[in-house]
Amino acid sequence: MSARPGLWAGAAAVWGKELRGEWRARYSIGSSLLFAAVTLAVLSFAAGPQARRPETAAVLLWTVLLFSATASLSHAFAREVEGGTWDLLRQAAGPGEVLLGKWLAGLSVLGLVEGFILAGGALLVAPSVGHPGGLCAILVAGTVALAVGLPLVAALLAQARSHGGLAAALAFPVLVPAVFASVSGTRRALEGTWPGGELRILVAFAAALALAGWRLFDFVWED
Amino acid sequence: MSDGVPARAGFEVRLENVVGRYGEKDVVGPLTVRFAGPGLYWILGPNGSGKSTLLRMMAGLKRPGAGRVRWLRGGEDLRADRLRHVSGIAAPEIQLYRDLSLRENLEFLARLRGNGARAGVRVALERAGMEGLADAQPMSLSSGQRQRARLAAAWLGDPELLLLDEPSTNLDAEARDWLYAEVRARARDTLCVVTTNQRQEPAASEPRLDLGALDPR
């Protein structure tokens, strides 16, 4: 037998499998992009010229991002359970490899959806950006927080049948602090201020979620 | 292998007062049994007797409700998280990825398990008689072909512990003969544990654990 794969090699295998499946079946990209296009168009039309105001543009951006992310990432584990592949995966991989691979895949998909939303937002709303660097930093930090948090909630939800209703109740508080910080930071960046406080919150929040996810995932993993 | 244990050292699975639960109900045990490889062992029993639950516990996919399962290589305990590198399981409820071809499924598993590599994938497909369907997706296969695909995934990389849950399901008589010839050949250097509810499938000389003959709980 050949050498055992390390954590990153296993995660890369899971990441590659996820993207290949996504590319072929369009499980989440299609619905996320459609959702993003419709909500962006409707909200920007409804808000009119006010959509260009920093506070409105920030709320608009993260509302679309949050729900697009939910549409794309919330089924990552349910598909394994429903497709009968969960035990195949558990028999061949370790929990760390699977969680890390799913996180990376979620981040890849979310990055693509985000690019689409930003391009659409620039076209339909065209807000002035006072601090582009700050906006980029907030977008990256907020996206990472969502990409770490959503699959974790999805994993808990996929096992909710055996773990009771607790998982559903967890989703809201898990994600809301990240979205609040992202909206606030985006508003400040659009206004021209470096959103240092929000960035610290998002980085700390993403790190705490990653750490908690790493520990909690063993419970999801066990039958 | 890096455990300091030579590859193909005798593999054992020991069940020590193991109780298997399905939901809140105890379906099997308490059982104390030792499966020492290489060799072929049968687990017999009617539907609902706990065969699959027992096999899942032996594969490390399910925690025992009580007692413990031990895996030993060369007499040394093997950690449960290392089991995936040296074991394979095929069961009716375990499916391959429908969006990947058979070859891609096996390559993915080989990368995760660290066994087999590409050459191993080809060999596993050939031994399952599936080399001509390597680029087909599982959903395009017949139920018998899907069963062969599951078997190829289970014996990918020649694992030291091979667990097969009712492997003759969906196979015709000719394919069943092929399957058991293959399993018996593998049992020369592999610990093979096979469940069935067909009492005629084990040969008279082969060791068996009859769950239907145990005292009901």
* A67-121 pLDDT per residue, tens: 888 877 777 788 888 889 999 999 999 899 999 999 899 899 889 888 998 898 8
CB contact under 8 A, A13 and B108: yes
**Average pLDDT of the segment spanning B75-92:** 90
- Per-residue model confidence as pLDDT tens digits over B10-35: 899 999 999 988 877 888 879 999 99
- B interface toward A at CB cutoff 8 Å? 1-2, 7, 56, 59-63, 81, 84-89, 91, 93-100, 104, 108-109, 111-117, 153, 157-158
Q: Are B150 and B106 in contact (CB under 8 A)?
A: no
Tell me what the pLDDT averaged over chain B comes to: 88
Task: Tell me which range, A41-45, A150-154, B8-12, is most confidently predicted by mean pLDDT.
Answer: A41-45
Q: Is the dihedral of CA B95, B48, B68, B86 positive or negative?
A: negative
Give residue A197's pLDDT.
Answer: 94
Q: Are A67 and A146 in contact (CB under 8 A)?
A: no
**Average pLDDT of the segment spanning A28-34:** 83
Give residue A152's pLDDT.
Answer: 78
pTM over 0.90: no
CB contact under 8 A, A84 and B95: yes
> Running DSSP on this structure, what letter comes out for residue A5?
P
| Angstroms from A2 CA to nearest CA on chain B | 5
More confident residue, A68 or A190: A190
- Give yes or no for residue A194 having a pLDDT over 80: yes
pLDDT band at B8 (very low <50, low <70, confident <90, very high): low
Give residue A32's pLDDT.
Answer: 83
Tell me what the pLDDT averaged over chain A comes to: 85
The residues facing B88 across adjacent strands are B162
Task: Quote ipTM for the complex.
Answer: 0.88
- Per-residue model confidence as pLDDT tens digits over B133-177: 999 999 999 999 999 999 999 999 889 999 999 999 888 999 999
Q: Which of B61, B97, B140 is the best mutation test for A, with the most CBs of A within 10 A?
A: B97
- Give yes or no for residue A135 having a pLDDT over 50: yes
A94: closest chain B residue by CA:
B81
